[in-house]
């Protein structure tokens, strides 16, 4: 196995690494490790930690840049610095704003409800919905400008944004919100059938109900 990914089987950031491994033709396996278990070697208790080429790595964006540069002729990264900036801006936007908003605001309440049997935290979801709606509107307008996140085709930005939006789409309100965004929904539908994305589908994905 060329890449070992330590994290939960169903996790946004584990999936990002899996997709890039598939894109690069690297064999990979997930070693189930929960974020807060003593076995997790991430210095800040996040997942994933990745072993590749005799290196131990943490932080997904640098990890996938490395995998793509070292093993995929950087096919998922524009050469032109200005275009690379646009890709990196989307990666940073996804990491710093989209994932925290979706995860805390709506995904965790549904996960805790469905998998930990907790009452659904409706108040938390309702508080997050206006910001989620504004975020989707922003993404839809951005996508309308050039019809893509970058002018360089499918890049690491698409991998990060798609996987982050997948968690949102798995919730009832998130799914309905994305469906109202014509361009965003169409772009996700195309990504749904990309071989690297299909090869890494979660077992529960596409089933009725969230996650």
Footprint on this chain of ligand GSH (rule: CB under 6 A): 11-13, 35, 45-47, 59-61
Q: Is 59 or 205 the residue whose CB approaches ligand GSH more closely?
A: 59
Q: How is 90-123 classified by DSSP, letter by letter?
A: HHHHIIIIIHHHHIIIIIHHHHHHHHH-PPP-HH
* Residues 6 or more apart whose Cβ sits within 8 Å of residue 210: 110, 111, 114, 170, 171, 172
Residues across the chain:
211
End-to-end CA distance of the chain: 28
Given a contact cutoff of 8 angstroms between Cβ atoms, the answer to whether 44 and 27 are in contact is no
Q: For ligand GSH, give the closer residue by CB, 13 or 187.
A: 13
Minimum separation from the CB atom of position 186 to ligand GSH (A): 26
Tell me how far, at minimum, the Cβ of 155 lies from ligand GSH, in Å: 17
User: Toward ligand GSH, which CB reaches closer, 11 or 135?
Assistant: 11
Give the shortest CB-11-to-ligand GSH separation in angstroms: 4
Residue 20 or 181: the one with the smaller Cβ distance to ligand GSH is: 20
Q: Which is nearer to ligand GSH, 61 or 74 (CB)?
A: 61
Q: How far is the CB of 151 from ligand GSH (least distance, A)?
A: 25
Of the pair 12, 93, the CB lying nearest ligand GSH is at 12
Q: Is 82 helix (H, G, I), strand (E, B) or coil?
A: helix
Task: Give the nearest distance from C-beta 107 to ligand GSH in angstroms.
Answer: 9
> Which of 90, 79, 76, 61 shows the shortest CA–CA distance to 24?
76
Rounded-to-integer distance, Cα 112 and Cα 117, Å: 6
Q: Least Å distance between CB 76 and ligand GSH? A: 16
**Backbone torsions φ then ψ of 6, nearest 5 degrees:** -95, 115
Distance CA 187, CA 147 (A): 9
């Amino acid at each position: 196995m060329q890449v070992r990914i330590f994290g939960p089987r169903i996790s946004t950031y584990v999936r990002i690494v899996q997709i890039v491994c598939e894109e690069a033709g690297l064999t990979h396996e997930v070693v189930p490790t929960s974020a807060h278990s003593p076995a997790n070697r991430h210095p800040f208790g996040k997942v994933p930690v990745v072993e590749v080429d005799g290196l131990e790595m943490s932080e997904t964006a640098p990890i996938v840049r490395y995998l793509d540069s070292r093993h995929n002729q950087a096919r998922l990264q524009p050469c032109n610095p200005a275009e690379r900036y646009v890709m990196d801006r989307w990666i940073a936007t996804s990491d710093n704003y989209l994932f925290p908003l979706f995860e805390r605001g709506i995904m965790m309440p549904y996960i805790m409800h469905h998998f930990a049997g907790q009452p659904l935290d409706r108040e938390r979801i309702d508080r997050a919905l206006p910001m989620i709606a504004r975020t989707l509107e922003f993404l839809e307008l951005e996508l309308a400008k050039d019809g893509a996140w970058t002018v360089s085709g499918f890049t690491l930005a698409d991998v990060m944004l798609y996987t982050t939006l997948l968690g949102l789409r798995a919730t009832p309100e998130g799914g309905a919100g994305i469906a109202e965004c014509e361009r965003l929904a169409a772009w996700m539908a195309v990504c749904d059938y990309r071989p690297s994305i299909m090869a890494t589908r979660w077992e529960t994905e596409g089933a009725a109900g969230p996650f």
